[in-house]
C-alpha cells in the first residue's frame, strides 16, 4: 500500500491541520497569538507591512537557499514565500570544500518597500569580498529577487529610504553612510558616527533597525552590558534629523517564559494604526525564537510589552479567520519542485538529487567521498519547533553502495543521528552522537568525534526513522532541549534506539543555529549510490 497508510499508527494523533495544509483547506483561527509567535529558529528579524500583508525576513547563515521571506495577514500564521538568493558562490567554502561557512553566510537582512519595489540588504559575516554587502530588489515579495549592487561590508545594517529621496545605510554601532540614488555604491565622504556610546552601553550594541514616524527617526538596537545584574535589552535612539543629535531610551527589558531577557528586532504598524514589536529570544537547542508584543507610543517613544513593560504570554491576533499556516511542514514529495520549507546545508549539488526520477520520492545521490556528515553535500533540513515536535521519514535503501551512510539527524554542531550504514552487503542502523570541531578562521572541519550508542542489523532494505524533540521550559531558566530516536520496520511499531533524552544545544562559536531535522545520504568509499525518501511526516504538539 502507498506510504501514507503505513504511517497511520505512528501519526494517529495528528490533527486535521496536517491534512488541511496539504489540501489548502482554510482552518479558521480565532485564538490569540501565543508567544513565542514563532517557536523556531528565526533570528535577526526585520518586518515590514505592504497593504494588508506583513513580511518578515530572517537569518539562515549556511543554509541554502538563503534569506527566507515569510508572509502573514494576521501576525499569527506565517508562510515562507521566497528566498532572496538561491546560493552564494564567492568561495568553495559555500560548497563544503576548502572550509565551510557554518555560522557565517547571510546575516541580519534588512527588508524595505519603496516606490513599488521590495529591497533587501544583507552582508555575509565573512572577511574580504566574501563579506560584501548585497542589495537585492523584487517587484513582489515572492520574487524573483535580483542583485542591484555589491559594496563594502556593513555589519547588522539597516537600509533606509528617506522622504526626500536620499538613501542611507545605518550599521555597526551607530555608523551611517549615504548611498547613491541608484543604490550602486556608497557616496564617499558621507561616513558619520551619529551618536557616542554612553557609559552603560559598553557591551553588545548592534542589530540596527531604522524607521521614521511622525517626522522623527528611530534607530532600534540590542544592548547588553556584560556585568553582574545587567540584562539584555532593546534600546531606541531618536532624533529629529537623521544625522543627529540622538537621545536614547530603553524600550524593553524583560525576560519571558522562564528563559533569558530578550532583544533585537523591530516594530511595525497595522492598517488600522496599531503598532507591534517583534523581538527574538535565545531559547537553547531550538534556537532563537520570535515573540510578538504591543508597541505603545508614549511621549514619542515606541515602548514595547504590556502595560508593565513585559513580554505578554498572548497577544490578540490582528485578524481572525485566516488560514492556518506554518513554516515547518510535512512533505510527500509529490511535487516536481522542492517546497520552500526546505533548505540545504550549504550549496546543493543539483545533479545529485531529484524529485522526478522516481515520482513521489526524493532521491538523494552520493556525489563526493567524505568522512563526516558535516562535509556531506545535499543534507536537506527543516527547523525544529517548540514546545515539542516529531519528524519521520521512510527510506528505500536498495541502491546504497558499500560505505554509504544515510538517515535522519537532529542536526547541529552536536548531532544525534539515526544513520544507516552499508557495510559490504549488510545494512546496519546506528544511533550516533557526533561532535564537530571547526577552525576559527576558515570554519574547516578539523575533527569529528563519532560515538555509536546502539546499532541493529537490518533484514530488509526499507526503514522508518523518527526523531522526537522536546523544548518545553523546565522552570530552571531554560528548556528541556532533548531528543529521542526511534525506528520501525513496518511503519507501525516503533522501537526506541540509543540515547534517551539526547541533549540538544546551541553553540554560537560553531553553527550559531537551532537544531534542524537533517535528511542525508553520503559516500565514504565510492560514489554512485542513492536512497529514495518516501515522505517526511511532521507534527508539532
List, by residue number, the catalytic residues. 44, 206
The Cα-based distances of 376 to 345, 352, 519 in angstroms read: 9, 12, 11
* Grid cell listed for 508: 554560537
User: Are 94 and 106 a contacting pair, CB within 8 Å?
Assistant: no
Place of cell 526506541: 496
Beta bridge mates, 466: 392, 486
Instruction: Give me the residue label for grid cell 516536481.
Output: 336
197 phi/psi in degrees, rounded to 5? -60, 145
Owner of C-alpha cell 518545553 = 472
> What does the DSSP 8-state code read for residue 18?
H
CA distance to 5, 156, 398, per residue, from 45 (Å): 39, 11, 43
Residue 399: Cβ within 10 Å count: 16
- For residue 414, the surrounding DSSP H or E stretch is strand 414-423
The cell numbers describing 131, all together, are: 563579506
Listed residue (126, 150, 66) closest to 346, CA to CA: 66
Identify the CA nearest to 435 among candidates 451, 452, 419, 453. 451
Q: For residue 73, give the nearest of 318, 268, 291, 267 by alpha carbon.
A: 318
Rounded to whole angstroms, the Cα distance separating 301 from 291 reads 20
Report the chain's C-alpha Rg in angstroms. 23
Residue 363: its H or E element: strand 362-365
143 DSSP β-pair partners: none
Q: Which of 292, 299, 309, 198 is nearest to 253 (CA)?
A: 309
Characterize 337-364 residue by residue with b for buried, 16 or more Cβ atoms within 10 angstroms of its Cβ, and e for exposed. Answer: ebebbbbbbbbbbeebbbbeeeeebbbb
Return the number of other C-beta atoms located less than 10 Å from residue 16's C-beta.
Answer: 11
CA angle 106, 126, 374 (to 5 degrees): 70
| 244 vs 158: CA distance, rounded Å | 17
Cα–Cα dist 379/398, whole Å: 19
Residues forming beta bridges with residue 532, ordered by sequence position? 363, 396
Amino acid at each position: 500500500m502507498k506510504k501514507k497508510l503505513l504511517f497511520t499508527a505512528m501519526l494517529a494523533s495528528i490533527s486535521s491541520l496536517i491534512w488541511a495544509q496539504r489540501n489548502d483547506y482554510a482552518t479558521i483561527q480565532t485564538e490569540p497569538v501565543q508567544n513565542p509567535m514563532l517557536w523556531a529558529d528565526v533570528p535577526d528579524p526585520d518586518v515590514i507591512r505592504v497593504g494588508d500583508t506583513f513580511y518578515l525576513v530572517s537569518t539562515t547563515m549556511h543554509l541554502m537557499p538563503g534569506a527566507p521571506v515569510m508572509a502573514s495577514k494576521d501576525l499569527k500564521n506565517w508562510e515562507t514565500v521566497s528566498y532572496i538568493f538561491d546560493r552564494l558562490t564567492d568561495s568553495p567554502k559555500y560548497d563544503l570544500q576548502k572550509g565551510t561557512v557554518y555560522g557565517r553566510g547571510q546575516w541580519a537582512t534588512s527588508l524595505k518597500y519603496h516606490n513599488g519595489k521590495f529591497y533587501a540588504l544583507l552582508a555575509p559575516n565573512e572577511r574580504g569580498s566574501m563579506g560584501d554587502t548585497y542589495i537585492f530588489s523584487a517587484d513582489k515579495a515572492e520574487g524573483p529577487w535580483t542583485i542591484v549592487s555589491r559594496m563594502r561590508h556593513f555589519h547588522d545594517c539597516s537600509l533606509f529610504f528617506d522622504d526626500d529621496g536620499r538613501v542611507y545605510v545605518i550599521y555597526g554601532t551607530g555608523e551611517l553612510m549615504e548611498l547613491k540614488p541608484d543604490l550602486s555604491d556608497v557616496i564617499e565622504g558621507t561616513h558619520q558616527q551619529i551618536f557616542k556610546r554612553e557609559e552603560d552601553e559598553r557591551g553588545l550594541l548592534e542589530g540596527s533597525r531604522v524607521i521614521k514616524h511622525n517626522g522623527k527617526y528611530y534607530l532600534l538596537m540590542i544592548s547588553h552590558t556584560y556585568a553582574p545584574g545587567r540584562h539584555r535589552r532593546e534600546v531606541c535612539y531618536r532624533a529629529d534629523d537623521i544625522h543627529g543629535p540622538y537621545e536614547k531610551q530603553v524600550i524593553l527589558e524583560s525576560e519571558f517564559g522562564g528563559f533569558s531577557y530578550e532583544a533585537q528586532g523591530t516594530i511595525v504598524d497595522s492598517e488600522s494604526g496599531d503598532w507591534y514589536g517583534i523581538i527574538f529570544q535565545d531559547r537553547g537547542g531550538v534556537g532563537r525564537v520570535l515573540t510578538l508584543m504591543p508597541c505603545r507610543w508614549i511621549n514619542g517613544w515606541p515602548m514595547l510589552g504590556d502595560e508593565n513593560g513585559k513580554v505578554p504570554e498572548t497577544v490578540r491576533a490582528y485578524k481572525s479567520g485566516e488560514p492556518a499556516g506554518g513554516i515547518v511542514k510535512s512533505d510527500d514529495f509529490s511535487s516536481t519542485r522542492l517546497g520552500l520549507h526546505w533548505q540545504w546545508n550549504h550549496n546543493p549539488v543539483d545533479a545529485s538529487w531529484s524529485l522526478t526520477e522516481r515520482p513521489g520520492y526524493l532521491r538523494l545521490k552520493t556525489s563526493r567521498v567524505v568522512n563526516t556528515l558535516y562535509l556531506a553535500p545535499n543534507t536537506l533540513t527543516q527547523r525544529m519547533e517548540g514546545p515539542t515536535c516529531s519528524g519521520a521519514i521512510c527510506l528505500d535503501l536498495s541502491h546504497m553502495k558499500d560505505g554509504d551512510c544515510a538517515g535522519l539527524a537532529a542536526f547541529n554542531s552536536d548531532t544525534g543521528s539515526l544513520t544507516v550504514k552499508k557495510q559490504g552487503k549488510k545494512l546496519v542502523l546506528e544511533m550516533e552522537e557526533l561532535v564537530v570541531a571547526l577552525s576559527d578562521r576558515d570554519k574547516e572541519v578539523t575533527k569529528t568525534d563519532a560515538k555509536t550508542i546502539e546499532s541493529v542489523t537490518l533484514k530488509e532494505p526499507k526503514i522508518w526513522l523518527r526523531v522526537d524533540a522536546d523544548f518545553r521550559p523546565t522552570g530552571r531558566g531554560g528548556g528541556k532541549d532533548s531528543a529521542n530516536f526511534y525506528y520501525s520496520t513496518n511503519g507501525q511499531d516503533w522501537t526506541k534506539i540509543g540515547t534517551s533524552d539526547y541533549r540538544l544545544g546551541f553553540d554560537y562559536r560553531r553553527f550559531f543555529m537551532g537544531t534542524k531535522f537533517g535528511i542525508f545520504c553520503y559516500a565514504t568509499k565510492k560514489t554512485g549510490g542513492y536512497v529514495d525518501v518516501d515522505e517526511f511526516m511532521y507534527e508539532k504538539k
